[in-house]
Amino acid sequence: MSFGDHLEELRHCLLMALAGVAVATVGCLLIGKHLLAIIYHPLLVVQHANGLSPNLTALSPTAGFAAFLKIGFLSGLIVSMPWVMYQIWKFVSTGLYDHERRFVRAIVPTSTALFVTGVLFVYYVVLPVVLNFFVSFNRSFPVSDLAPTAFQRLLLPSTEEADAPVPAAPPLKLPVLRSDPATPADGDAWINESTRRLVTKTPSGIYSVGLEPGANSVAVRSRFAIDFYISFVLMLALGFGIAFETPLVVFFLAWAGLVTTAAMRGARRYVILVCVVLGAVLTPPDVVSQLLLAGPMYLLFELGLLAARTVDKRHASAAG
């Protein structure tokens, strides 16, 4: 092919790749709310398990809509990635030898599968562990004694009336139900044990308020903003998706003859250091997620070494 033909082929592949991204993005925007529900479901489960109201907070009027658009565009990019990789391969394959074409043909689906595996590992393993750790850690901050000192009493409003003894009264008893009654009457009140909410029926509708475990409130409430939470999840997903490409990188280095498997085995201590550093760079700034990335990354490095042994055997048989 002439240089002009190569440019025309490149233009065609780019247009087809962009068209695939656009179609996938539109499709993901159509189901954007369902994608959002999937992404914040691990947080809601952790919040409910720790006795908190399962919800996210919008800190600005446009926060929810911005999160919807962000999820739609990024999900469209991820979904269309195999098609984009196919277009790249279609353009590059014209300048490769037959054995190189076979290798690249195997790389595209393998790379996609490893990236998806990393994202699923984040969703089903990393997120529950990390979120439960931080929610539990935040709940460990108790409310200190709120009684003012002698000097503070001079500056603050008097609390003598509030501290006066209250006449004893019989405790209010409410029914504890596993689910809401089918036809409650106006004025009925009950505690839903499943959702941990205090519910009452009024002429204008049903109202409820969340309940927290313990007699006292905590000093730090785990209420996460929707935009910050989505950025947190996407950073983890991107970091783990890239890290799970480690076996493919190791195998490519051995296949191309850039680094021998013996040299990579001898550099294990440096690989551990690199895994820790990458864990700190590719994840949010917390030790838990960094360790959850560094550990699997090193195991994937060892897996890549096992796969690279097949390359050594082929080189040895070819040399013999």
Residues 6+ apart with CB under 8 A from 106: none
| DSSP 8-state assignment for residue 159 | -
Segment 74-92, tens digit of pLDDT:
888 878 877 887 787 777 7
Indicate if the pLDDT at residue 27 is higher than 80.
Answer: yes
- In this prediction, residue 258 has a pLDDT band, given cuts at 50, 70 and 90, of confident
The reply to whether 254 falls in a domain is yes
Q: Does the predicted model carry a pTM greater than 0.95?
A: no
Indicate if the pLDDT at residue 163 is higher than 60.
Answer: no
Of the listed ranges 10-19, 33-42, 72-81, 91-100, the least confidently predicted one is 91-100
Say how many domains are in the chain.
1
The reply to whether 45 falls in a domain is no
Residues β-bridged to residue 190: 199
Segment 57-71, tens digit of pLDDT:
888 888 888 888 888
* % the chain with pLDDT above 70: 86
Cα separation of the two ends of the chain: 38
Of the listed ranges 3-7, 132-136, 196-200, 315-319, the least confidently predicted one is 315-319
Segment 260-312, tens digit of pLDDT:
777 888 888 888 888 888 777 766 666 777 788 888 888 888 888 887 777 66
* % the chain with pLDDT above 90: 13
Q: What is the pLDDT of residue 95?
A: 66
Strand ranges of the sheet holding 189-192, from the earlier edge strand across to the other edge:
176-177, 189-192, 197-202, 205-210
Residue 265 and residue 305 in contact, taking contact as beta carbons nearer than 8 Å: yes
How many angstroms separate the CA atoms of 72 and 23, rounded? Answer: 11
Mean pLDDT for 183-209 is: 90
The reply to whether 276 falls in a domain is yes
Indicate if the pLDDT at residue 183 is higher than 80.
Answer: yes
Averaging pLDDT over each range in 123-132, 142-151, 299-308, which range is the top one?
A: 123-132
The reply to whether 188 falls in a domain is no
Q: What is the pLDDT of residue 190?
A: 93
Identify which has the larger pLDDT, 106 or 129. Answer: 129
Indicate if the pLDDT at residue 189 is higher than 90.
Answer: yes
Q: What is the pLDDT of residue 86?
A: 76
How many angstroms separate the CA atoms of 234 and 228, rounded? Answer: 10
The reply to whether 282 falls in a domain is yes
Q: What is the pLDDT of residue 206?
A: 92
List the domain range (segments joined by +) for residue 275. 245-315
Q: What is the pLDDT of residue 316?
A: 59
